[in-house]
Amino acid sequence: MEMPPHEVCYRALATRDVRFDGRLFVGVKTTGIYCRPICPARPAKPQNCVFFPSAAAAQGAGFRPCLRCRPEISPDAAAWRGTSSTVSRALALIAEGGFDGEESVGALASRLGVGERQLRRLFDKHLGAPPIAVAQTRRILFAKQLIQDSELPMSAVAQASGFGSIRRFNDAFRKLYGRPPRELRVRKAMHTSAVSVRLGYRPPYDWDAILAFLAARAVEGVELVEPRLYARTVEIAGEFGSVAISPGRTHLEAAIRFPNVGALLGIVGRLRRLFDLDADVEAIGAHLSGDASLAPLVAKRPGLRTPGGWDGFELAVRAMLGQQISVAAARKLAGRLVARTSPVLSPDVTGDERLRSVFPTAARVAAADLSSVGMPSARIEALQGLARAAAGDPDLLGPAGPYEESVARLLALPGFGPWTAQYWALRALRDSDAFPAVDVALLRSPVVAQKGKRPTPKALLARAEAWRPWRAYAAQHLWAHDGEPAHD
């Protein structure tokens, strides 16, 4: 990957510029350690610094992670966003456990629809490291985080971070840190069954805006929203648990309850996508501010993110339920669907008696009698058609497929129109350029009006060309400025 000039990188290090956190890492030749640019340690001399685009690239060059600035809680590298959708999709699969280093790079490339050689070339260009190095670095840094931030036993940490055995786990730590993992543990009086994990981001972060967005759509029993808390139930491979997120000064704090610690790394990946933690909001804001109409909106909400979703199927169902009705009405329909399909969860599982249901899987929706949910029969058949398709093809609503192909597959299903598919892509695929141009709220926004008249979808698309590759964030700014979307 082409890095900024050495003097620019060093200036960011010398000033501890938070804007570069996650975008570059510095290796110090005299110590053999690599750091974040915001490390509190005194910067080394310029001639002793080597800069890398990712933690994996720094470790591949033989540097070991700093114990002071903790690269494991740095925002994920975001330099590829808007540049390579293939790398974006690959990182999403790695983050959610779709590639653990044991699976061949060829299999990962096949899921992405590209050749193995092409995938390696793209990773080298954008991250400076091959896919297996990125996956291995993610595993060991996640293990380091669990060692310091949780009370999990070492065997559970090894399992949660994807190591096949405790021996491999210990060997990896001795090789990288020069000491056994137990020596990195900081004893804390936590005494909780939840695993605490810090989720780093590059500030600013508009917590109030993302919480308001999620609160408007929260389904009773599945989600819980309070001023400084978002919690929800989760289901993975037939096992149940919950996650609770609260804001910190420079990170979000996640409390995860789940019986299978092997799912923790994937859960963290989903949470990062749900809360859009890897966005480079400064770069996005600078680009969108080139439009005089959007500039005041960006200035008002410099940390605005585009909320993602917990699960692709869940978001597709929510989008279908919300077609041509209000957000509140869609929320009620989702509540009825959950009530007719969800098992009742114990507070021992979720940690809160108010969290008692889970959003249904594709298999449960396909098999359920939905006649009493309160929807037209055609909508019910379309919903269950989606469920049958998703149950038969696990990758149908996942992050593996190219954006255009994923949208095309959805449009081929009954009940999916342009708005539904684009809105789903914006949130489920985390596509920064997805843009539901037929959205009623966007079309009636005074910000995009021309001489007081609403634009047509075609005219709005033409206007939005200047916002690429960040049209999804432009839509979020318009929604936040004018109120919530007309439907969801």
Catalytic residues: 35, 439
Q: Which amino acid is at 467?
A: W
Strand bridging mode 229-236 / 239-247 = antiparallel
Is-cis flag, bond preceding 307, omega within 30? Answer: no
The two three-digit tokens of residue 56, written as one number: 């994996």
Kindly report the backbone phi and psi dihedral angles of residue 153, in degrees, each rounded to the nearest multiple of 5, phi listed first. Answer: -65, 160
Please choose, from the candidates 446, 431, 439, the residue with its C-alpha nearest in 3D space to the C-alpha of residue 461: 439
| Residues pairing with 245 in the sheet | 230, 254
Kindly report the backbone phi and psi dihedral angles of residue 255, in degrees, each rounded to the nearest multiple of 5, phi listed first. Answer: -110, 115
